[in-house]
Every structure is written in C-alpha cells, then in structure tokens.
Amino acid sequence: MPSQTPLWQNGWYSQAQRHDSPNFGPRPEGASIDLLVVHSISLPPGQYGGHEVQALFTNQLDWDAHPYFEQIRGLEVSSHFYIRRDGSLVQFVSCDDRAWHAGRSEYRGRSNCNDDSVGIELEGLEGERFEPAQYQRLARLCQDLALCYPIAHLAGHEHIAPGRKQDPGPGFDWSLLKSLTDFSDKCFPLV
C-alpha cells in the first residue's frame, strides 16, 4: 500500500501551502470548534495578486510601502486560511490553535469568536464579487474542516461583528456556497 499524507495533521491541512504566523495562541480548554468565519481582505484594498496579505499575517509587511498601510501600522492579526483569486490556498495557523481574525464578536450566543472558530480570508474587496475558483476551494475546505471539527455554523465577519465589520459583504454569494456543500440551511446566516 502506498503511504498517503493525511488530510489533517495537528490542525494543518495537507491541501494548503503553509506559512506560519506568529499571531496565534491556545484555544480555551474544551473549546468546541463549530464556527467558520468568512472574511475578505486585499492589500492595498482592491489590489490583487501581491504578497502583502501574507506579509501582514506574518508580521513582515513594510508599513512604509503604501500610504494605506499607515492606517494599519503595527496591527498583529492572522487567519487560519487565505484563498487567493485563483483558488490557491495558504494556511497560517493550525486549526487546533486560536488565530486572531474576529476581534470583538458574538455569534450563536457565544462571544470572543476567535476562541472556537476557524477564520478563512478570501482575497477580495468587501461588497465586491469573488471568483468561481475561490468558491470551489472554500467549499472543499469547509467540507474537509467538517471531517475534523464539529462545524455547525458558517458566517461572515459582518454577521459576528455587526455594525463594526462589513466583510465579506453583499458580493459574497452564500447560496452558491450552500449549493457547493452538504451543510443544511440552518448552518448559514439568514440572507
């Protein structure tokens, strides 16, 4: 029998390129990781294809490289995953650990969503559309996460931090994501 790489190893996904971020910590004891949070990001906003997002999440962004970066200077954040416009996938933090993507947040009656969620950033601009390749990759990732974690909710950053965050916004097609996965209607935000 040929040896096969396991899909998941210690919270790392074999289908992603790994770029370790220092921005993470332990999850609380007994955390039930049942929430996927979808975000959008691009740096500078609306510019695609560069390495600035990976640089931000690994504390290597040159804050002086663009005027916009002044607004986020010193920010230490991360997500578990980042899906590029072409569908390629990067992982920064083990899903067994707590990434820093949600901030002040509340969902399904629990606050501090970083404690028990997986954060997935899509390369994009909030309110704008996303690429078919990104939905395909996201859907597969959601399905594969559900093999390993008791995923029961998928939501946008806008749903867990309403009024404070707007991503991924109205350009994100929740019904398309639903159609590409096995999750039931009640797993999704009311849109």
Binding site for Zn ion (CB under 5 A): 39, 157, 167
CB of 100 to Zn ion, least distance (A): 11
Write down the least CB distance from residue 126 to Zn ion, Å: 8
In the complex with Zn ion, which residue's Cβ is closer, 99 or 151?
A: 99
Burial 129-163 (b: 16+ CB within 10 A, else e): ebbeebbebbbebbeebbeebebbbbbbbbbbbee
Catalytic: 128?
no
Exactly one of 29, 76, 106, 121 is catalytic; which is it?
Answer: 121
Distance of CA 133 to the CA centre of its chain: 16
- CB closer to Zn ion out of 27 and 101: 101
Min separation Cβ 41 and Zn ion, Å: 7
CA distances to 1, 59, 71, 144 from 119, rounded to whole Å, are 35, 18, 22, 14
Question: How many Å separate Cα 128 from the centre of its chain?
Answer: 17
Instruction: Please state the closest distance from residue 39 (CB atom) to Zn ion, in A.
Output: 3
Cβ closest to Zn ion, residue 94 vs residue 117: 117
Our measurement of the distance from residue 97's CA atom to the centroid of its chain's CA atoms, rounded to an integer in Å, reads: 13
> By C-alpha distance, which of 14, 15, 19 is closest to 91?
19
- Whose Cβ is closer to Zn ion: residue 98's or residue 157's? 157
| Alpha carbon distance 191, 80 (integer Å) | 25
Catalytic residue positions? 121
